[in-house]
Chain A
Amino acid sequence: MSQSLIELRGITKSFGGIHALNGAQLQAHAGEVHALLGENGAGKSTLMRVLGGELQPDQGQLIIGGEVLSLKGPGDAMSRGITIIHQEMALAADLTVAENIFLYDLPRFISWRKLRARAREILDRLGFSIDPSALVSDLSVAHQQVVEIAKALSRQARVIVFDEPTAVLSTQDADRLLEIIDGLRKRGVAVIYISHRLDEVFKIADRMTVMKDGQWVATVTPADTCVSEVIRLMVGRPVDTLFCDRNARQHGSEVLRVENLNASRKVRNVSFSVKAGEVLGLGGLVGSGRTEVARLIFGADRCESGSVFLKGRKLKLRSPQDAVAAGIGLVPEDRKGQGVILDMPIRANVTMANFSSVLNLFGFIQSDRERGVVEKLAGQMRLKSSSIDAPVSSLSGGNQQKVVLAKWFHLGGDVIILDEPTRGVDVGAKREIYELIEGLAANGLAVIVISSEHHELFGLCDRVLVMSEGQICGELQPDHYSEENLLSMAMTHRPALSHVEIRT
């Protein structure tokens, strides 16, 4: 085996007395895809920030090409060929794709023609037809990710760290990304790959390092382990079934009915209905119009035509205000941007959608009552926080999502729509969120789940509607749940099996 290109040895880093890293280690060879696994808060991102020169370790060594170094900052790390592609993308949204790719070494005088041509070349190499003169803000999240990768490639990176790159990608784009990563490996780049999607990791990784509580747990190869073993290493205990038994659910009468919803070209003639206690899945590729449908039902965007009925009554949805008043909740896909108010306490976030319950006659907030309500909900959700007065920003992703869920629990409506409810959430918290969704269904709510993780849809939902190009192109029943069926519907508008019900 070749010598390690980079090695992190005995890295310790603490923030205010708490060990974020405690003797963490990692080595990666040139031409290797090395997966870094662990629950959220295990210290993966912190370790990568050390590698990227953003943090100085308290103890430990960083060895690059056999040389012990201390990085002076992110710029130093980059000049040594280390690039980190973060979960939160670092793109200038108002600049063009080409400008973003070469942001770090823009020539003093820009020749647009040359810049575009160079960008074009890199993008072509990645196999994406993205217009180099398009504004980044106009691209889909998946394409923005591609721009990030192109940016790293433009800088001749020797080590590229991907921090959950596929969390925001559809299966198709994720597969493409895995091909790109394979290409990087062949060119001798050391790829460090952080992901919660274990099936992907097993496909792509040469080795896997598992971390827990800031410590190294094990380094294994996909050949001599299995998914459940890795989960056991990550969690420190065996995980039985992630999902609850959907056969135990009791379906009531129809709660929500959507008829011929249309909005520009993004949503076309979408009709469906959901019963009380039912969990309906919306599947399909990213950009197929699932999020748009959710936002239309919630009144966040205006629809051109079509109607939404709640318990047989036609709703006038001009704004989210109308939807909330009618008892419809939305857990948006962009948790930090749209779901929670990071700077405000948990308490204020939870009561946001249903203030009247904690106000007195004069419009003043009754602190005691609010505290009681929120503490009860936090207990129910097993929210891990120092107190309900702590700002939401102090919570992990999974717990932030629980705060959003608590908001809608507190509203106690009839319909809840969850858009990518477990994106960027670790395995332990995922399971808890699935249980909470189960609880919502058991309380007689009509639940709609949008997810790009197919096993999640199959595990949670009573049936799955598959969307493509703004239309519903089919419906899958549990007997026919399989990734092939879903993808063939999404990509060919035709079910793989002749006897699956088709809606047009």
Chain B
Amino acid sequence: MTSLSVKTVPSKSKFDFGEFFRRYGTAVIFLLLVVCATMLSSSFLSERNIMNVLRQVSGTGIMAVGMLLVILTRGIDLSVGSIAALGSVLSAVIVAQYSTGASIAMVILAGAACGMISGVLVAYVRLQPFVMTLAMMAIARGMALIISNGQPIMMGERGDTITDFGTSFVYGVPMPVLLMLGVFIVAALVLNFTKFGRLIKAIGSNEEAVRLSGIPVARYVLAVYAISGALAAVAGIISTSRSGVGSATVGVGSELDVIAAVVIGGASLMGGRGSVFNTLLGVLVFGVIGNIMNLINVPGYHQQVFMGVIIVVAMLLQKGTGWLKR
């Protein structure tokens, strides 16, 4: 049976710590954090707190899936936070005139369109992904500010269905969390068992070899940016659904959180390497750290420093133990 992890390495008879951490580093960090959190705060393991953490990371998680796909192709998408803001604003504006279903579809399409613009310029015109999505980050945020005129937009009664989604539970699990898990499951299936998934990993590993195998590489690259944009818009809708307000200041700086989560999940910015399951763990690690520090009242500024340290530790663990010997 194929495991969820992307890289399967032939097992050796001897236990290899470096290899172990490369593959399960994120899981180890996650478990350690959970153990620490349980010891530090009695309320951490309560159902309410767990669901709270999950709900907080649902937007980041959904964006992380899109980011993982982009990073696998050796790209980067800095525009996700801004597209989420555009999605948040648009959903509040559009739902005032159209039905809920049509509004959601339009918002997701708008996000996908932003992603496609980046995708076309990256895949066909060969602009560098960093620069292109940096531009899209400014453009999408600017659009969100223009449309909202810089003001929060209340959804009103017409947005009740959306607000219901953000605030309701199924068997005690918030809907956005279920949606996030659904996105992760679909992504895991796609990445591990479909042509699309295999090819985007292959493109990140050696684009030229894939092209010379007769694969239309640009089409796949375009697709991952479009997916990333669409998922960012979904994250924007979730934000609106939780607060009932469309805001152009949603997701400021969140592209960095998303990239950090994907990287903590072991994906390589050089492309070709990363797994959906570990990305989910990376997102959870991020959520749990923030949660513990809130529970034990660590001031916000200190939290940032600690966050940064955790990213470095995670990277070192995944690098294996080899660097210790040098």
Contacts and interface: CB of A to CB of B under 8 A. Distances in A.
B272 A343 contact: yes
A345 B210 contact: no
Interface in A351-366: 352-353, 355, 359, 363-365
Nearest to B273: A343
Nearest to A365: B193
Contact of A321 (B14, B201, B214): B214
Interface string A382-400: 0000110111001000000
B196 to A, nearest CB: 7
Given A364-B193, A364-B194, A407 B206 contact: no
Contacts of B198: 348, 365
A16 interface: yes
A342 B195 contact: no
B273 A337 contact: no
Nearest to A330: B212
Contact residues on B (Cβ < 8 Å of other chain), bracket? 20 to 34
Contacts of B201: 344
Interface string B186-218: 000100011110100110011011111111100
Interface residues of A, number: 38
B195 to A, nearest CB: 5
A298 interface: yes
A341 B195 contact: no
Given A332-B212, A337-B208, A348 B10 contact: no
Contacts of A17: 14
A93 interface: no
Contacts of A300: 211-212
A115 B171 CA distance: 74
Contact of A363 (B8, B14, B196, B272): B196
A386 B195 CA distance: 25
B12 interface: yes
B297 interface: no
A319 interface: yes
A344 B205 contact: yes
A338 interface: yes
Interface string A309-353: 000000000011111110000101000011111111100100011
Nearest to B12: A16
Contacts of B195: 355, 359, 363, 365
A300 B211 CA distance: 8
A381 B213 CA distance: 19
A389 B11 CA distance: 11
A341 B10 contact: no
Nearest to A387: B10
B46 interface: no
Contact of A341 (B8, B194, B196, B210): B210
A343 B210 contact: no
A344 B202 contact: yes
Given A338-B209, A343-B206, A352-B202, 8 more contacts: A16-B12, A300-B211, A325-B214, A342-B205, A359-B195, A364-B193, A365-B193, A407-B213
3 tightest A-B CB contacts, nearest first: A324-B214, A352-B213, A341-B206
Interface of B: 2, 7-10, 12, 14, 189, 193-196, 198, 201-202, 205-206, 208-216, 272-273
12 contacts: A16-B12, A319-B216, A321-B215, A337-B206, A337-B209, A341-B206, A365-B194, A387-B10, A389-B8, A389-B10, A390-B10, A391-B9
